[in-house]
Amino acid sequence: MSNFLRGYRLAVETICMAGISLVAILGGLQVWFRYVSGSSLVWSEEVMRLSMIWTVMLGSGLAYSRGQFLGMRFVVEAMPPRIARACDILAAVLVIGFLVAIAWYGWVFAWKTRLQSSSTLGYSLIWLHGAIVVGAVLMALHVLAETLWGKGVPKGEGIQ
């Protein structure tokens, strides 16, 4: 595997682990502040939501490359290899088309909400909705790479 792909995978894994850790820590702090100290962290839910959305959208492509998406492949695997390959290519084309549509309409939506601010922290909502675009593009690249070159993340490598 090239250094670029190894670095990309490490960066995505690190960001996702940091995002999940942030959600877990803020969730625990939210409970402690609400039920023990009697006050509430009004901003924590918003940060948790932002972190979770970005974590899922960034990590979904890597999960696809690892074969961690649910798939019903028993019919395709029962077909002759050439027909199975044709089915895989057709499925990849349809999935990439769907992801391009999600990226396009996600961008239109994000752009329309760029002047709106989040309720507690005041950041532009384009930062939240932009995750849809980034996630769809990364997922499409992973689908394309898997279709053309096979498994991008060998079994046993990375965070399991």
Residue 12 lies in a domain: yes
Given a cut of 60, whether residue 137 has pLDDT beyond it is: yes
- The answer to the question of residue 160 being in a domain is no
Is 105 a member of any domain? yes
CA dist 98 and 19 (Å) reads 27
- Report how far residue 84's alpha carbon sits from residue 73's, in angstroms, rounded to the nearest whole number: 10
* HEC secondary structure over the chain: CCHHHHHHHHHHHHHHHHHHHHHHHHHHHHHHHHHHHCCCCCCHHHHHHHHHHHHHHHHHHHHHHCCCCCCCCHHHHHCCHHHHHHHHHHHHHHHHHHHHHHHHHHHHHHHHCCCCECCCCCCECHHHHHHHHHHHHHHHHHHHHHHHHCCCCCCCCCCC
Instruction: Quote the pLDDT of residue 148.
Output: 87
Band the pLDDT of 1: cuts 50, 70, 90. Answer: low
Structural domain count of the chain: 1
pLDDT beyond 70 at 150: yes
Q: Is residue 157 in some structural domain? A: no
Q: What angle do CA 21, 23, 27 make, to 5 degrees?
A: 120
133 touches 107 (CB < 8 A): yes
pLDDT value of position 160: 47
Domain boundaries, position 33: 3-149
Distance of CA 19 to the CA centre of its chain: 12
Q: What percent of the chain has pLDDT over 90?
A: 68
Both structure tokens of 117: 């601010």
Instruction: Report the candidate in 33, 96, 106 with the shortest Cα–Cα distance to residue 61.
Output: 96
- Of the pLDDT bands very low, low, confident and very high (cuts 50, 70, 90), residue 151 is low
Residue 156 within a domain: no
Do the domain assignments include residue 94?
yes
Give a yes or no: residue 159 inside a domain: no
Rounded mean pLDDT, 30-34: 93
**pTM across the whole model:** 0.82
Domain membership of residue 154 (yes or no) is no
